[in-house]
């Protein structure tokens, strides 16, 4: 499958636009974003799905329909083993439905306070989706980044939970390693896998 000449990024999040633009820099396409196109054309989508895949499909389908072109989206979250894998798909509204990154970060630190460092294993998980307007099938791929949590934020270059997500091979948090983050991150891995699937023509049903 040849990649289409233009693909929309289904997000208004400036941090995510910057990160995805970096991750997809070698894709032979023009990325249409809320920063180089009319932002009003990128609808707000209620992430009501129960899984990462559900939410990613909702976002990609809505933007593909609105702009009349294929769209890329992702849904991701942090999974803390000591919290039973939570907050998971509820990572974005963890502290409250419209919580800021700072508030979510503070809530997660509060939730793991008192847990020994050895018990703070965690991972970032991302599901990336490609959807065409009106299509009943999508391409999707998953990426995982394993790490541990620290309880004092470190670094200022990341977003979300990056300041407390420690990546052992780097010896630092992802917020301290923005220049290398995309090479190992859950999002980078998911979108690189998605590109392979697309070039192979692997368009899948959402429940496949």
Per-residue pLDDT tens over the stretch 15-72: 999 999 999 999 999 999 999 999 999 999 999 899 999 999 999 999 999 999 999 9
In 47-120, DSSP assigns E strands to 71-80, 86-87
Give the chain's count of helices (H) and strands (E): 5, 8
The CA distance from 53 to 23, in Å, is 20
* Fold adopted by 6-199: Maf protein (3.90.950)
Residues 6+ apart with CB under 8 A from 84: none
For residues 12, 18, 23, 27, the Cα torsion angle rounded to the nearest 10 degrees is: 70
pLDDT at res. 147: 98
Q: Is 157 a catalytic residue?
A: no
Task: Decide: residue 13, CB within 10 A, 0-12 exposed, 13-18 middle, 19+ buried.
Answer: middle
Residue of 54, 116, 121 lying closest to 85 (CA atoms): 121
Residue of 12, 2, 128 lying closest to 66 (CA atoms): 12
pLDDT at res. 199: 87
44, 75, 81, 179: the active-site residue: 75
Residue of 70, 104, 99 lying closest to 87 (CA atoms): 104
Token pair in block for residue 103: 């508030």
| Length of the chain counted residue by residue | 208
Token pair in block for residue 165: 């997500």
Residues 6+ apart with CB under 8 A from 151: 109, 112, 113, 120, 164
pLDDT at res. 202: 58
pLDDT at res. 1: 64
Please report, in angstroms and rounded to a whole number, the separation of the first and last CA atoms in the chain.
19
- Give me the residues of the chain with pLDDT under 50, please: 205-208
The structure's pTM equals 0.93
């Amino acid at each position: 499958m040849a990649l289409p000449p233009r693909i929309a990024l289904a997000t208004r999040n400036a941090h995510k636009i910057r990160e995805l633009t970096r991750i997809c820099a070698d894709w032979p396409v023009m990325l249409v974003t809320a920063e180089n196109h009319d932002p009003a054309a990128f609808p707000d989508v209620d992430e009501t799905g129960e899984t990462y895949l559900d939410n990613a499909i909702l976002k990609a389908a809505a933007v593909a329909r609105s702009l009349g072109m294929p769209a890329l989206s992702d849904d991701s979250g942090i999974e803390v083993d000591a919290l039973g894998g939570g907050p998971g798909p509820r990572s974005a509204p963890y502290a409250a439905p419209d919580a800021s990154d700072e508030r979510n970060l503070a809530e997660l630190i509060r939730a793991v306070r008192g847990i020994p460092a050895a018990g703070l294993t965690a991972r970032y998980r991302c599901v990336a989706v490609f959807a065409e307007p009106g299509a009943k099938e999508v391409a999707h791929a998953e990426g995982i980044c394993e790490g541990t949590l620290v309880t004092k934020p470190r670094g200022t270059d990341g977003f979300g939970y990056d300041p407390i997500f420690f990546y052992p091979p780097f010896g630092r948090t992802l917020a301290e390693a923005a220049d290398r983050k995309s090479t190992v991150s859950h999002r980078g891995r998911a979108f690189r896998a998605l590109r392979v699937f697309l070039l192979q023509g692997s368009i899948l049903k959402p429940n496949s």
